[in-house]
Amino acid sequence: MVSFTIQNVLIAASDDYATVDVQIVDGAIAAIAPNLPVIGTVIDGKNKLLLPGFFNAHTHSSEMWQRGIMSVLPLELWLAELYDFAPLDTEQVYLSALGTAVETLLSGGTSVVDHLVLIPGLELETIATATRAYREVGIRAFIAPLIQDESLSAGIPSGESARTHEPYHRSTAATLEIIEEAVRQFHRPDEGVNILVAPTGIQLCSNALFAGCIELSDRYNLCRHSHLLETRAQEKLAQEKYGCTAVEHLKRIGFLSDRTTLAHCVWLNDADIAILAETQSTVVHNPLSNLRLGSGIAPILKYRQAGVNVTFGCDGASSNDSQDLLEAIKMGSILHNITDSDYQHWITPRQAVEMASLGGAKGLNLADNLGSLSVGKQADLVLYDLTNLSLLPRTDPIGLLVLGRPNNVVDSVWVNGKQIVADGKVTTINVDELRQELFNRSQWETKRKSETVAQIEAHYRTVMGL
């Protein structure tokens, strides 16, 4: 294992900054203090800021192939269009996972939670391919194979009409078998690859699928991940399906826990928020996709006041169209200054950084190992260049990073003590080749029509009162 010493680097102290040396030995932080003896290689930290790596705590890597082209639609119709044009091959899965990893790293992230869309009939191959991509780049990967056992139309409330849905193409039992096999083949936490159980959400999953996921999670000590109440339609659907809120239902069946992360959480009431606090579940805030799809503004300040752990995600690259984590953190912080007039509740830049790092670690049951600059923790670290034009003139480094428009500011990144970004460049893969591949395998496109959207739009508008 490589050891190194970062000298004269700026770190956040309690309410100020300190210039220190940081020793890394065998992939972990060994000491943080001024004027430490040099161990291993010397890294010059002068005029640089060292922070723990952030978590891109919810995304869908393969959506990268449709970024910029998706129509301006709410989630339920947007999904119909996405799936009409989503047929993928494993080479595309590989390239978009590489792209997601690179963009996450270059915006301060050292971990990615990929709610991975599976190719029907090639489910394990899809997971193997994403795993290979993340291992090659060296980012810490939490692969959450996206599973459901109900077809897309079941995700829209019925309203007054009695509706029947096509059966899903794969049985609940077969789906759970795939996840269990994925755990056996790919779950290697010590090597930086984790498998999560990840039912897509109450809108497209049966109770049997949730029950099977809970059982696998308990048996193999896996974290759990799901979408929750992203849209008003899902709020209506939960009442239709269960006669109670989605959160009450998930509590009743035992899905909520201190290792459960829930993406979006836009449409929760105060009783729901209390349940999340009580079960120690984590909310993953995806502000950009929530705006892009008109889903709403999640009540993040209420979550924080209730003691709910919150972290950030970019969401998939065709509902946000980017994997810039710093952009998601900025938007996810300042957006809430309009939701509560009491400015004492607003999110400060330092709180935002802690949410993005320690908040992400907590949700994945790793707060003892990751998420802060603490002796003994694993060295998932990001070094920012404070001489970069977008971080000047010199004021508050974290304020500049969170509130500004930082551009190419990541100097170096280490994951588990291994350097994978140096001088602003990813060193583990050839990014120029990746760009060329993404360019060659795509084409300029503007006009396309989704047949499924045309079929379901009238019903959607009726049931949503439009």
pLDDT in tens, 42-91: 999 999 999 999 999 999 999 999 999 999 999 999 999 999 998 789 99
Whether 317 and 98 have beta carbons less than 8 Å apart is answered as no
Which of 363, 391, 410 is where one domain is finished? Answer: 363
Report yes or no on whether pTM surpasses 0.95.
Answer: yes
Query: Is 180 in the same domain as 221?
Result: yes
Structural domain harbouring 168: 54-363
pLDDT at 15 over 90: no
- Residue 60 included in any domain: yes
Query: Is 103 in the same domain as 231?
Result: yes
pLDDT recorded at residue 155:
86
pLDDT in tens, 412-443: 999 999 999 999 999 999 999 999 999 999 99
Query: Is 264 in the same domain as 296?
Result: yes
Query: Is 267 in the same domain as 395?
Result: no
Q: Mean pLDDT over all residues of the chain?
A: 96
CA Rg, the chain, in Å?
A: 22
What residues are paired with 425 via a beta bridge? 422
Confidence band for 158, pLDDT divided at 50, 70 and 90: confident
Query: Is 237 in the same domain as 249?
Result: yes
- Residue 300 included in any domain: yes
What percent of the chain is predicted at pLDDT more than 90? Answer: 94
pLDDT in tens, 369-387: 999 999 999 999 999 999 9
Query: Is 409 in the same domain as 294?
Result: no
Query: Is 280 in the same domain as 182?
Result: yes
What residues are paired with 263 via a beta bridge? 227, 284
What percent of the chain is predicted at pLDDT more than 70? Answer: 100
- CATH code (residue 20): 2.30.40.10
Residues in the chain: 466
Which of 307, 333, 363 is where one domain is finished? Answer: 363
Which of 363, 393, 419 is where one domain is finished? Answer: 363
- Residue 107 included in any domain: yes
Query: Is 231 in the same domain as 138?
Result: yes
pLDDT recorded at residue 32:
98
pLDDT recorded at residue 322:
96
Query: Is 88 in the same domain as 213?
Result: yes
Query: Is 72 in the same domain as 159?
Result: yes
Query: Is 183 in the same domain as 225?
Result: yes
Judge residue 161's burial from the number of C-beta atoms within 10 Å of its C-beta, 0-12 exposed, 13-18 middle, 19 or more buried. exposed
Residue burial 6-38, b: 16+ Cβ < 10 Å; e: rest: bbebbbbeeeeeeebbbbbbebbbbebeeebee
- Residue 463 included in any domain: no
What is the number of domains present in the chain? 2
Query: Is 377 in the same domain as 243?
Result: no
- Residue 444 included in any domain: no
pLDDT recorded at residue 2:
84
- Element (DSSP H or E) covering residue 214: helix 207-220
- CATH code (residue 269): 3.20.20.140
pLDDT recorded at residue 163:
72
HSE-CB at 402 with a 13 A cutoff on CA atoms is 22
